[in-house]
Amino acid sequence: MTKRQLKKLMSSLEISQADLCRICFNQVTQSDRNIVSTWLSGAKPIPRWLPQMLNYYSVCLKADRLMQIDKESK
């Protein structure tokens, strides 16, 4: 995954850099933001596990939205 692909995926999922920190590290510290920033700038390679984690996040997000729609329709 390239930095451009990561930015595009984040945009399609409507997540910010802070959201990505929460997804990956379950927290948002300055250190975590720096790590994500190095991925987005291309200074450090994007971990191999990140695309799969974001894919899983996407599936869970879609399922959550479907459950909300189902609750609202009842």
Count other C-beta atoms under 10 Å from residue 9's C-beta: 18
pLDDT of residue 74: 67
Domain extent at residue 9: 3-73
Domain count, the chain: 1
Chain position carrying tokens 């909300």: 68
**For residue 24, pLDDT beyond 90:** yes
**For residue 3, pLDDT beyond 80:** yes
Mean pLDDT for the stretch of residues 10-28: 94
| Residues above pLDDT 90, as percent of the chain | 80
Cα dihedral: 61, 67, 73, 74 (round 10): -160
- Lowest average pLDDT, out of 6-10, 19-23, 67-71, goes to 67-71
Query: Is the pTM here over 0.75, yes or no?
Result: yes
